[in-house]
Amino acid sequence: MPQYDYVYLGDNARAPYGTRSFEIVYEFTLQAVKKLFEEGCRLVILACNTASAKALRTIQQKDLPRIDPGRRVLGVIRPTVENVDKLTLTRHIGVLGTPGTILSNSYTLEIQKLFPDITVTGEACPMWVPLVENDEFDRAGADYFVRQHIEAILSRDSQIDTIILGCTHYPLLEKKIVPYLPKHVRILSQGNYVANSLSDYLHRHPEMDCSQNGTIRFLTTEAHDKFAAMAGIFLKEDIKAERIFLGNE
């Protein structure tokens, strides 16, 4: 949907969120949402599984009615979960995520709400985000940490035939993950599912009336040059970022 205007905000100075408490993740996420509202965004996507797991529901139920009932905040877990039913034959799903996402039990709750016959097994992978953030994800040292968690989750449920990459960083590790999976196991990477869900949402909610000038702005709580270098790993292009401040930084 390149016609829409986007504002991307990365709280890179305080990341990763995966090992932080529920209270802190909620506090940080709400600060980011308010900032994006100040920038004119009518719809905010929490493009982080930990924030979606720990903060989304509270923001939707408690904060949005007070701040602006006409705006929306959505997450990445529900759009992912809605697609697992089409992929699994054994009805056994694995979820790889940060400690925060796994401890929240959000994937299990959402999947069993929609598909109560599916068994869900979660595996926390605390070292995977640092591997990506430090540009080590495609090097030999990453194999140990990838193999360790793939073997662990499959040892707990050998009937898993679909694995959700429950963190936005993990797709960069996909080439490392595949060799350690049995050939029949599918990987569900969130990007396309979330994008398609957003497209469908905007089609069903024309009242959101998001601006369409094809612009993109990148905001970060880190030094802009450091953010640009990291973003290049994901986007494969040069970008310009603006540094902003949230909360009591």
> Residue 1 falls within a domain, yes or no?
no
pLDDT for the residue numbered 229: 86
Which active-site residues does the annotation give? 48, 167
Question: CATH number of the domain that 66 lies in?
Answer: 3.40.50.1860
Q: Which of 48, 100, 107, 99 is nearest to 80 (CA)?
A: 107
- Give SS3 for 235: helix
Say if residue 177 is in the same domain as residue 117. Answer: yes
Buried b (16+ CB within 10 A) or exposed e, 102-141: bbbebbbebbeeebeebbbbbbbbeebbebbeeeebeeee
Picking from 167, 189, 211, the residue at the C-terminal end of a domain is 189
* Count of structural domains within the chain: 2
Q: Same domain for 82 and 165?
A: yes
Residue 15 pLDDT: 87
Domain that holds residue 212: 6-77+193-243
pLDDT for res 248: 62
Nearest in space to 102 (alpha carbons), one of 156, 175, 31: 156
Q: Within this chain, do residues 185 and 83 fall inside the same structural domain, yes or no?
A: yes
Query: Do 163 and 117 sit in the same domain of this protein?
Result: yes
| Co-location of 84 and 168 in the same domain | yes
Residues 177 and 219 in one domain: no
How many other C-beta atoms lie within 10 A of the C-beta of residue 211? 13
Q: Identify the three-state secondary structure at position 11.
A: coil
**Residue 182 and residue 88 share a domain:** yes
Q: Which residue has the tokens 């029949």?
A: 184
Q: Judge whether 221 lies within some domain.
A: yes
pLDDT by residue, tens only, the chain of 249 residues: 999 999 999 999 998 898 899 999 999 999 999 999 999 999 999 999 999 999 999 999 999 999 999 999 999 999 999 999 999 999 999 999 999 899 999 999 999 999 999 999 999 999 999 999 888 999 999 999 999 999 999 999 999 999 999 998 999 999 999 999 999 999 998 989 999 999 999 999 999 889 999 999 999 999 999 898 888 878 888 889 999 999 864
In three-state secondary structure terms, 6 is strand
Q: Is residue 168 part of a domain?
A: yes
Let me know if residue 248 belongs to a domain.
Answer: no
